[in-house]
Amino acid sequence: MNRDDREAFLSLPGRLYPWPVVHTATEAALVDGTHVLSKHCTVRPHVLRRRGESVGRCAVTTYSDDTTAYLGFFECADAACADDLFGWAHTTARAAGCTQVVGPVDASFWLRYRLKTDGFDRAPYTSEPWNLESYPALWYAAGYHKTMGYSSTLYRAPTPDEADDQLAKRLSAASEHGYRVEALDLKHWDDVLTGLHALVMELYAGMPVFRPVDLDDFRAIFAPVRLVADPDLVTLAWRGDDLVAFSVVLPDYTMTTNARLTPATLARLWWRRRHPHRVVALYMGSSDPGLGTAMGGRLFAQCHERHLSCVAALVGDGKPTAGYAPQFVESRSHYELLTTVV
């Protein structure tokens, strides 16, 4: 990709959205082949132009041990543009020896994937996959079908006189059964990441598009989380010295975490971390299924105490966590992972 096409590829989202919906530095590293994940895959970026102006982009990612290609970084101006992008992507996938295409996937499970299908009438939350409202119809018209669904649930802030006794009891019961449920201590960040890596590799292995990474890559991927985390919102459960469950919750920075790091951006991030009005539950997992509601109990207690609303983000269809605390649910947004044969 030449310099002009690279610039067009990276700048197109900024022309389409009022928010920084992608992390441009990450995209640049993937296009340039310098990202920590670049050694595992080949990313083929493409820019579509009309009369010299960029009107669409996408990229096909392939792995040497996989006959599935992953289509992501998808942005376009209209349906005709989409047809050209999908045509290029499918031809590229076949030329690489692939038999199916899955998307939207921006290169990896560890980055951005899924297609947003509703809830476009509100601002995005931190880490939300965001796309134009027109895109689902474009993907379906290109022959894609849903293979996995997800939802994000917005829970209103509990009022001072509200409590969820069952969640509190589960948290108490976890302690009685020998589990230590506590907040993150940043002094032990490296040790926590070691335990978190082992758990995530085990618990997330069956998820669509998941690919394991080694501990060094995992540390690099999660390094930005340390900068924006409120340690008290991250819940860890231990049995002895072993990490057995985790709940990674961040203040909702909307899309500020994707913005270029200027002094003004850093000031906004610092302020929101100190004064959140909403939090986003990004990653949860437990080697003991009974600990899930205990972890939720600690999060609910924090939301109750600090009067915070909460987004339970990107929960796979059929997961029990999607049904927690129905009396506090305000709204849900939905997302899909799509597939087509080429």
Tokens 């589990």, located at residue: 179
Q: What is the domain extent for residue 33?
A: 3-113
* Domain membership flag for residue 341: no
Comparing 114 with 1, the larger pLDDT belongs to 114
Contacts of 234 (CB under 8 A, 6+ apart): 183, 184, 246, 247, 248, 249
Contacts of 233 (CB under 8 A, 6+ apart): 183, 249, 250, 251, 279, 299, 302
pLDDT digits (tens, 9 = 90+) for 259-292: 998 999 999 999 999 999 999 999 999 998 778 7
pLDDT digits (tens, 9 = 90+) for 52-75: 899 999 999 999 999 999 999 999
Angle at 131 between CA 128 and CA 137, to 5 degrees: 130
Residues 170, 316 within the same domain:
yes
Comparing 57 with 162, the larger pLDDT belongs to 57
State the average pLDDT for the chain. Answer: 93
Residues 169, 220 within the same domain:
yes
The residue type found at 38 is: S
Q: Domain end: 87, 113, 139, which one?
A: 113
Q: Domain end: 52, 85, 113, which one?
A: 113
Residues 79, 219 within the same domain:
no
Q: Minimal CA–CA distance to 139: which of 107, 110, 113, 111? A: 113
- Look up the CATH number of the domain holding residue 331: 3.40.630.30
Angstrom distance (rounded) from CA 295 to CA 278: 18
pLDDT digits (tens, 9 = 90+) for 214-250: 999 999 999 999 999 999 999 999 998 899 999 999 9
Helices (H), the chain: 3-16, 24-32, 79-95, 135-141, 165-176, 189-203, 215-228, 263-274, 292-306
Q: With contact defined as beta carbons under 8 Å apart, do 335 and 93 qualify?
A: no
* Domain membership flag for residue 143: no
Residues 95, 233 within the same domain:
no
pLDDT digits (tens, 9 = 90+) for 312-337: 999 999 887 666 778 899 999 999 99
Q: Domain end: 47, 80, 113, which one?
A: 113
Q: Read off the pLDDT band of 167 (50, 70, 90).
A: low
Residues 189, 315 within the same domain:
yes
Residues 180, 40 within the same domain:
no
Tokens 């959205």, located at residue: 17
pLDDT of residue 169: 72
pLDDT digits (tens, 9 = 90+) for 172-211: 777 777 888 899 999 999 999 999 999 999 999 999 999 9
Residues 106, 161 within the same domain:
no
* Domain membership flag for residue 147: no
The region of weakest confidence among 8-12, 47-51, 77-81, 116-120 is: 77-81
Residues 25, 100 within the same domain:
yes
The residue type found at 125 is: Y
* Domain membership flag for residue 131: no
* Domain membership flag for residue 72: yes
Residues 33, 169 within the same domain:
no
Q: What is the pairing mode between strands 278-286 and 42-50? A: unpaired
* Domain membership flag for residue 49: yes
Q: What is the pairing mode between strands 105-106 and 100-103? A: unpaired
Residues 270, 163 within the same domain:
yes
Helices (H), 116-164: 135-141
Residues 188, 50 within the same domain:
no
Q: What is the pTM of this model?
A: 0.93
Residues 160, 108 within the same domain:
no
Burial of 195 (0-12, 13-18, 19+ CB in 10 A): middle
* Domain membership flag for residue 249: yes
**Structural domain total, the chain:** 2
* Domain membership flag for residue 224: yes
